[in-house]
Structure 1
């Protein structure tokens, strides 16, 4: 089978590796339909998170279909469609039963004090092969899988594997409550979802800080207030926005690969700290192998996000840290935090605790995650997708990987789409038009539409294109349908080639570097405030 494999710092490859097998009665083998690239994966390639074994399959996010189960798995059977939580837990120990799945006593081979175990991570984190592969072995599958309803497709479900639960956990750590003013550091995928989670947990204002404009634009689509740290000093800007007080809660979603501002007053304010940050980077990424095109560069200000988190918080405020820091990271402004009576909580997400509730929120329409998957890449393009994501290129906020794009399936006659991707029954007569292959076409968000049309043939795409030209004329959709039709007509549709359609805001040739932006889609509506938390929080547990 094909998989993305880590061979060393700065060296990842798409390799052919053996298919996994059942090793324990509680194992399951899952055929992966969709995986994704996470910032944590980049830490391994950049060298800021050491300890991976050469040959380790990367990735800790997946949606798929159960292929085989061990005799100890009583609640799943072959054919079940599932999302895989990123962290591994037994479901039996006292920590799991209290909701602290990330601190399971039994998942880590190092024993009770081993800490979090997750897919595609270092030996100290369990040494498990990851999920950027065609098949994966899932330990403790009776707990380590969450069933998906037909209505939750891969475009939404992939963000339920890690990104959205981590964001939800971050808002819980920060103790976000009704009316709070919340700052989110980082507008990557976790930061975007953290802004959404803060609103859903009752925040009155959400301020997002980042230095990448297209990511800030995505945050503004969910009506967050934004601060560009390359244009203004984020601490001074937030203080001005809050009457000199600071924010009630901070969610730090950046971690060890933080970047210094390259311009503006914040860059000037940090000029004297350059030598200190360089020393930190040398201690954090002790092995570095930058790529030839500006890839695999460790962050040049490892402690900056933590420093800004403390600076932004009001006195007696709280900070939830979900940005990844390796065990050897030891720089934190503890004295300043003490002086302000801050409460700090951080850690790895207890994914299994939150995912079932979040699946239900997506199913009922209370949560729409499709805007946050901004790129789809086929298996054959996985390494180049890593590079684009690493360079933070325009439009590459979150990358999903279609793991069904394989030569074997092409030879067998093309992709057999999963249950949520099959063409739906037609809905005839809308606006005098012929029947459309997607009955909910007019209501589909752009991200969901981008995913659904990958299973359509040329005739179906042409019909949608004609309907769009004559009726809806939504921003970005004409470009999306036109490009997908072109791909199918040139042999890269469902019966061969890469089924991943480019995002309309960032169409690029894989043989060149041309970036063609298009007008942004319509803004997302803000989520309702104060949606109740039904995550099963154990008695006395604050997170």
Structure 2
């Protein structure tokens, strides 16, 4: 089959690799009909190269058709249409039963000290072959795959794999009061969708911050009060502008949908670039102990949120030696929630919104639909924010 493989920093290629097969009774194999390109994939493209191996198959946002199931998968059959969550979880351990499939005790990558295994996401999360491919082996298929109806196009449901539950959890963790306010930093796919989810869940005012004109325009067209970061001379000017809209206090909650590759973090960026260029055998242990993130977005969030408010961190962070303004966090009495999205915890809540009325705008959420063969171009375009790329779906 064809698959998108990681070969090095900013080097992804479409190669022919062996077809996946059933290896355990709880496996399934699906034929992928669409697979998303995620902002998290871009971290593998440049920053987290130390934890990758040439030939790793990328991707974790698939929708497709079941081709084959193992004997331990009673509720799926060949021909079923399914969305596959990005994390691999059993559904029966203590963590899964308590709504934390990202911490599944069956698939935890304990050798690396990490949570549940993920599709297509480094040795830290199990080196499981990913979903930007023609076919995908799905472990723990007795729990993970979400059956969906035939008929509507892939766009209606594909975002159940990651974008929708990640945005949904970000808003849930933000704990926005009914009619309250939230600022979303970063209007890429997750930030954009978090704005939409906040609106349908009852937020009174939603502020969106980015520096890319196309992203700001998309959010503004859906009623978000947008702020162009590039039009301010400093973070303090941005913070003041949003505070002026909230009686001087700041929003009730701030969602950081940017993460480790934030603009405005020059020294950390240089450090990330330096380590990503070093030999992987040397830099891996170094990053596990001393890695740092670009924290400009997080520091802005801390400054912006009102006293007693909540920060919801949904952008991926991977630093192990990040300096944090603990005095400010303590003094402002800020609550912080974060983590990978627990997809199956939220999927039943989200499904009623995936109707013909399309309140979340999923049907036209993708800006680009490309064949799998164009994956190298898709990665470059998405990283460089070219051609208005916000969300890219690839079709094998």
Q: Displaced runs of 4+ in structure 1, greater than 6 A?
A: none
Pairwise mapping of residues 505-520 of structure 1 onto structure 2 (< 5 A)? none
Pairwise mapping of residues 343-362 of structure 1 onto structure 2 (< 5 A)? 343-362=335-354
Aligned CA distance change for structure 1 residues 103 and 111 (closer, same or farther; 3 Å) = farther
Could you tell me how far apart the structure 1 residues matched to 2:125 and 2:319 are? 11
Pairwise mapping of residues 163-312 of structure 1 onto structure 2 (< 5 A)? 163-232=163-232, 233-260=237-264, 277-288=265-276, 302-312=294-304
Contact 2:109 2:115 in 1 (8 A): no
Report what 2:285 is aligned to: none
**Larger radius of gyration between Structure 1 and Structure 2:** 1
Kindly state the Cα deviation for residue 47 of structure 1 after the two structures are TM-superposed.
1.9
Q: Does 1:58 align with 2:46?
A: no
Task: Between 225-234 and 279-288, report the one with greater CA deviation.
Answer: 279-288
Contact 2:293 2:318 in 1 (8 A): no
Pairwise mapping of residues 447-526 of structure 1 onto structure 2 (< 5 A)? none
1:359-402: CA deviation from partner (whole Å, max 9, x where unpaired): 33203634431232111111121111111111001320100001
Report what 2:378 is aligned to: 385
Kindly state the Cα deviation for residue 85 of structure 1 after the two structures are TM-superposed.
0.5
Could you tell me how far apart the structure 1 residues matched to 2:368 and 2:17 are? 26
Report what 1:394 is aligned to: 387
Kindly state the Cα deviation for residue 244 of structure 1 after the two structures are TM-superposed.
1.3
Report what 1:296 is aligned to: none
Contact 1:61 1:161 in 2 (8 A): yes
Aligned CA distance change for structure 1 residues 109 and 303 (closer, same or farther; 3 Å) = closer
Q: TM-score, normalised by structure 1?
A: 0.67
2:119 counterpart SS class: coil
Q: Does 1:119 align with 2:119?
A: yes
Task: Between 318-327 and 109-118, report the one with greater CA deviation.
Answer: 109-118
Report what 1:488 is aligned to: none
Q: Does 1:85 align with 2:89?
A: no
Could you tell me how far apart the structure 1 residues matched to 2:128 and 2:238 are? 39
Aligned CA distance change for structure 1 residues 141 and 257 (closer, same or farther; 3 Å) = same
Contact 2:310 2:335 in 1 (8 A): yes
1:481-523: CA deviation from partner (whole Å, max 9, x where unpaired): xxxxxxxxxxxxxxxxxxxxxxxxxxxxxxxxxxxxxxxxxxx
Aligned length: 378
Could you tell me how far apart the structure 1 residues matched to 2:350 and 2:152 are? 11
If asked which structure has higher relative contact order (CA below 8 Å, sep 6+), I would say 2
Could you tell me how far apart the structure 1 residues matched to 2:49 and 2:211 are? 23
1:395-435: CA deviation from partner (whole Å, max 9, x where unpaired): 201000011xxxxxxxxxxxxxxxxxxxxxxxxxxxxxxxx
Report what 1:316 is aligned to: 308
Report what 1:297 is aligned to: none
1:348 counterpart SS class: coil
RMSD: 1.9
2:191 counterpart SS class: helix
Kindly state the Cα deviation for residue 237 of structure 1 after the two structures are TM-superposed.
1.4
Report what 2:21 is aligned to: 21
Report what 2:282 is aligned to: none
Q: Does 1:69 align with 2:75?
A: no
Give 5+ residue unaligned stretches, structure 1: 261-276, 290-299, 404-543
1:357 counterpart SS class: helix
Could you tell me how far apart the structure 1 residues matched to 2:252 and 2:215 are? 23
Q: TM-score, normalised by structure 2?
A: 0.91
Q: Does 1:2 align with 2:6?
A: no
Aligned CA distance change for structure 1 residues 112 and 375 (closer, same or farther; 3 Å) = closer
Kindly state the Cα deviation for residue 111 of structure 1 after the two structures are TM-superposed.
6.5
Contact 1:146 1:356 in 2 (8 A): no
Could you tell me how far apart the structure 2 residues matched to 1:322 and 1:49 are? 21
Q: Does 1:137 align with 2:137?
A: yes
**1:334 alignment partner, one of 286, 301, 326:** 326
Could you tell me how far apart the structure 2 residues matched to 1:328 and 1:112 are? 14
Contact 1:4 1:58 in 2 (8 A): yes
